Amino acid sequence: MRVSTLIALTLSTASLWGMPIAPIHAVQQADGTVSFEKSPRLINVFTTFDHVGVWGAKYYFTLELPENAGEPLQKVTISQREGSETIRFRLDDTLAFTGTARNKGEQLPLQSVNRDDATKTVSVSFAEPISPGTTFTIGLQPQHNPYWGGVYLFGVTAFPAGEKPYGLYLGVGRLHFYRRTSCRWGFC
């Protein structure tokens, strides 16, 4: 008999006898792998400056961990999937906070920020897992915006807390960089 069938039968029998049933908060496989019950969502991705070659830009990735996620979030990976040029980041300048870039809340301490050059992936691990029901934003600072304009795509994956987390791919964030076509305020 499968474990899930056995659990369902046990819960059904317990509810028939009027026994209180504790809610199941996470999905855990027999091998110990932990996954979210309800998927986090990638809400928004944007940059503070969208012109090519600009220094001092920030790329903001806003995610929502729903109340019924079932498990806190421990790590997010951001992988450059498309673009004419590989974007390099100043990992020490990475930040995270509750809320959105336009409505910043409290800062979230980071445990580590790493880059895998082979896969063009930045991994952001939180010092304390992020609780369900939280909207939060990760800010990455590139060394500079790419010199080649166009569309750059970033795949975002979320990982729950636990020793064997199962990452959930949330989708693609899109940034578009433009070459200046006219002079503004006397600058060309």
Other CB atoms within 10 Å distance of the CB of residue 144? 16
At 10-49, the pLDDT tens digits run 434 344 444 443 343 446 666 778 989 999 999 999 999 9
- How many whole angstroms separate alpha carbon 178 and alpha carbon 169? 28
Dihedral (CA of 44, 103, 63, 84) sign:
positive
User: CA separation (Å) from 98 to 48, 75, 107, 135, 159?
Assistant: 18, 15, 7, 6, 17
What is the fold, at CATH topology level, of the domain defined by 36-177? Immunoglobulin-like (2.60.40)
String of DSSP letters for 51-73: BTT-SS--EEEEEEE-GGGSS-E
Where in the chain are the domains? 36-177
Answer yes or no: is pLDDT of 85 > 70: yes
10: tokens are 């046990």
Q: What is the pLDDT of residues 115-167, one digit of tens each?
A: 999 999 999 999 999 999 999 999 999 999 999 999 999 999 999 998 899 99
Q: What percent of the chain has pLDDT over 70?
A: 80
pTM for the model stands at 0.81
